[in-house]
Copies of this chain bind each other. A is one copy, B any other.
Amino acid sequence: MLSNMKVSQLCEESGVSVPSIKFYLREGLLPAGERVSATQAEYGTEHVERLRLIRALIDVGGLSVATAQRVLEAIDSPDLPLSYVFGVAQYAISDTSLYADVPETGPGAAQVAAVIERMGWVVSNENPGRRGAARVLDTYDDLGQQHIAEHLADYAEAAELIARADLAAVAHHTDVADMAETVVVGTVLGDALNASLRRIAQEHVSYQMFPAPRGTETTGSEA
């Protein structure tokens, strides 16, 4: 256990620069150290761990400082219901143009509602995923790629598998603060993990389904 660290040692231990540490302290992302004189404070292991979490949310999860702050506040409030912490984490990573409140004029919203019913999911109207999914489906429609929506049930099936694994990881903990941290870390970084695994699986499946170079299926006999 490390304790009684000056800010320079905290910098060394965490790999985060002194100006960044001071900025996180000022913005409330990092709790204040124990004041030992008018100009000095001391820091412990919990500060090193919090700095790692801050950098993971910002560097790997791509959150802004303001969004990371909102998410950390939720972790720091053990009296909040877990479903609320989920909500905060979901909105945090939904804080992109994708989920912008665009008027839903296309078929996406109805397609999303239909797949939710088919899956038997119980979901509030405020879930940001509804808007995000509807927007992508509307865009497929605009681009003449509406046939992709025929596979929506498969994508939903995969999403439920992922969500069950997500929640199993949360249930690994008994301490509520640990559960909240898994919700946040797993939700924010899990999208990147799932997208990466999709890249890998796509390569495998595409070689299985299209072993020959594209085009040879129709022109091969003329080659």
A47 CB–B CB distance under 8 Å: no
Q: Which of B130, B140, B204, B206 contacts A200 (CB 8 A)?
A: B130
Q: Would you give the 0/1 interface string for A156-176, flagging 1 where the beta carbon is closer than 8 Å to chain B?
A: 111111111111111110101
Nearest-neighbour CB distance to chain B for A103, whole angstroms, equals: 13
Stretch at the interface among A24-32, A65-73, A93-101: A93-101
Residues of B within 8 A of A56 (CB): 139, 142-143
Q: How far, in angstroms, from A85 to B93 measured CA to CA in the complex? A: 29
* A122-B198 CB under 8 A given contacts A78-B215, A139-B56: no
> Which residues does chain B contribute within 8 Å of A151, judged by CB atoms?
165-166, 168-169
Q: Which of B97, B174, B180, B198 contacts A194 (CB 8 A)?
A: B198
Contacting B at CB under 8 A, from A60-101, are 60, 62, 78-83, 85-86, 90, 93-94, 96-99
Chain B residue with minimal CB distance to A168?
B151
User: A210's contact among B83, B98, B136, B159, by CB below 8 Å, is which?
Assistant: B83
Q: Mark A132-144, 1 if CB is under 8 A from B, else 0.
A: 1101110110111
The DSSP consensus for interface residues of chain A is: helix
Inter-subunit contact B124/A201 (CB<8 Å): no
Q: A97-B62, A151-B168, A205-B167 are in contact. Are A129 and B199 (CB under 8 A)?
A: yes
Tell me if A189 is interfacial: C-beta within 8 Å of chain B. yes
Does any Cβ of B come within 8 Å of A10's Cβ? no
CB closest chain-B residue, reference A129 = B199
Contact of A145 among B150, B182, B192 (CB under 8 A): B182
Say whether A79 contacts B215, CB under 8 Å: yes
Which residues of A line the B interface, CB within 8 A?
Answer: 49, 52-53, 56, 59-60, 62, 78-83, 85-86, 90, 93-94, 96-99, 112, 115-116, 119, 121-124, 127-133, 135-137, 139-140, 142-145, 147-148, 150-151, 154-172, 174, 176, 179-182, 185-187, 189-207, 209-210, 213-215, 218
The 4 closest A-B CB pairs, nearest first, are A129-B199, A132-B196, A82-B214, A159-B197
